[in-house]
Chain A
Amino acid sequence: MESKQRLKIHHTPFETVYNAVVDALDFVLRPLQKRIGQRNMAYVFVLPNVAIFVIFVLFPMLMNFYYAFTGGSNIFPDQRPFVGLQNFETIFSCTDYTNPNTCREDLFWKAAFNTFGFVVFQVGGMVVISLITALALNRKIRARAFFRSVFFYPVLLSPVVVALIWRWVLQNDGLMNGVLVGLGADRVPFLTNPDWARFWVIFISVWSQMGFYTLILLAGLQSIPHELYEAGEIDGANPWQTFWGITLPLLMPTMLVVLVLSLIRAVQVFDQVYAFTNGGPGTATTYMIQYIYLTAFAGRGNQYGLAAAASVILAVVLLVFTLLQLRAGRQSELSV
Chain B
Amino acid sequence: MLTTVRDFFTRTRGVNSPDRMDVLTYAYLIIGTLVMFGPVLWLILSSFKDINEITRFPPRLLPYRQQTVEVMGYDEPLPVFNVTMEDGSVRTLARARRVGIEAQMVDPAAPEEIIRVNINTMTPVEAVFFSFDNYMRGVERFDFVRYFWNTLVVTVVATILTLFVNSMAAFALSKYKFPGSNAIFLTMIATLLVPLSVILVPLLLVITQIGWFNSLIGLIIPTIATPTGVFLLRQYMLTIPDELLESARLDGASEWRIYLQVILPLARPALAVLAIFSVMWRWNDFLWPLVVLQNSDFFTLQVGLNSFRGELQTQWDLVLAMTVLTALPVTIVFAFLQKYITTGIATTGMK
Query: Which residues from chain A sit less than 8 Å from chain B, CB to CB?
Result: 1, 3-4, 7, 18-19, 22, 25-26, 29-30, 33, 38-43, 45-46, 48-50, 52-53, 55-61, 63-64, 67, 75-77, 132-133, 135-141, 145, 147-161, 164-166, 168-169, 173-175, 177-179, 181-182, 207, 211-212, 215-216, 218-219, 226, 229, 233, 238-240, 242-243, 247, 257, 261, 264, 267-268, 270-271, 274-275, 289, 292-293, 296-297, 304, 307-308, 311, 314-315, 318-319, 322
Task: Give the residue of B13, B33, B37 whose beta carbon is less than 8 angstroms from that of A139.
Answer: B13
Task: Give the residue of B58, B164, B165, B176 whose beta carbon is less than 8 angstroms from that of A178.
Answer: B58
Task: Give the residue of B184, B197, B302 whose beta carbon is less than 8 angstroms from that of A289.
Answer: B197
* Cα–Cα distance between A212 and B245 once the two chains are bound (Å): 35
- Decide: A174 near B201, CB < 8 A? Known: A141-B26, A207-B35: no
Q: B265: which A residues are within 8 A, CB to CB?
A: 3-4, 7
B193 to chain A, nearest CB (A): 5
- Decide: A296 near B25, CB < 8 A? Known: A46-B169, A160-B302, A173-B59: no
Q: A26: which B residues are within 8 A, CB to CB?
A: 254, 256-257
Task: Let me know if B222 is at the binding interface, CB within 8 A.
Answer: yes
Contacts of B182-216 to chain A: CB distance below 8 A: 184, 187-188, 191-195, 197-206, 208
Q: A261: which B residues are within 8 A, CB to CB?
A: 350
Assess the A48–B169 pair: CB atoms within 8 A: yes
Assess the B12–A157 pair: CB atoms within 8 A: no
Task: Let me know if B55 is at the binding interface, CB within 8 A.
Answer: yes
Task: Give the residue of B7, B184, B330 whose beta carbon is less than 8 angstroms from that of A156.
Answer: B330
Q: A311: which B residues are within 8 A, CB to CB?
A: 197-199
Assess the B172–A45 pair: CB atoms within 8 A: yes
Assess the B349–A215 pair: CB atoms within 8 A: yes
Residue of B at shortest CB range from A218? B346
Q: What string of 1s and 0s marks CB contacts (under 8 Å) between B150-169 and chain A?
A: 00000000000000111011
- 9 smallest CB-CB distances across A and B, nearest first, come from A239-B10, A63-B202, A49-B169, A178-B58, A42-B176, A56-B222, A60-B202, A45-B172, A311-B198
* Cα–Cα distance between A136 and B39 once the two chains are bound (Å): 22
Assess the B203–A141 pair: CB atoms within 8 A: no
* Cα–Cα distance between A197 and B323 once the two chains are bound (Å): 22
Assess the A293–B287 pair: CB atoms within 8 A: yes
Assess the A158–B346 pair: CB atoms within 8 A: no
Task: Let me know if B1 is at the binding interface, CB within 8 A.
Answer: no
Q: B230: which A residues are within 8 A, CB to CB?
A: 49
Q: What are 17 A-B contacts defined by CB distance under 8 Å?
A: A22-B260, A26-B254, A26-B256, A30-B256, A50-B225, A52-B225, A64-B198, A149-B338, A154-B36, A156-B284, A158-B326, A160-B306, A164-B309, A178-B59, A215-B346, A270-B287, A315-B198
Q: B12: which A residues are within 8 A, CB to CB?
A: 138-139, 229, 239, 242-243, 247
Task: Give the residue of B165, B171, B201, B339 whose beta carbon is less than 8 angstroms from that of A145.
Answer: B339
Assess the A168–B42 pair: CB atoms within 8 A: yes
Residue of A at shortest CB range from B349? A216
Residue of A at shortest CB range from B258? A41
B232 to chain A, nearest CB (A): 13
Task: Give the residue of B17, B43, B184 whose beta carbon is less than 8 angstroms from that of A168.
Answer: B43
* Cα–Cα distance between A30 and B222 once the two chains are bound (Å): 30
Q: B10: which A residues are within 8 A, CB to CB?
A: 238-240, 242-243, 247
* Cα–Cα distance between A164 and B46 once the two chains are bound (Å): 12
Task: Let me know if B262 is at the binding interface, CB within 8 A.
Answer: yes
Assess the A271–B286 pair: CB atoms within 8 A: yes
Assess the A153–B28 pair: CB atoms within 8 A: no
Q: A58: which B residues are within 8 A, CB to CB?
A: 187, 191
* Cα–Cα distance between A154 and B35 once the two chains are bound (Å): 11
Assess the A173–B55 pair: CB atoms within 8 A: yes
Contacts of B263-315 to chain A: CB distance below 8 A: 265-266, 268, 280, 283-284, 286-287, 291, 301-302, 305-306, 309
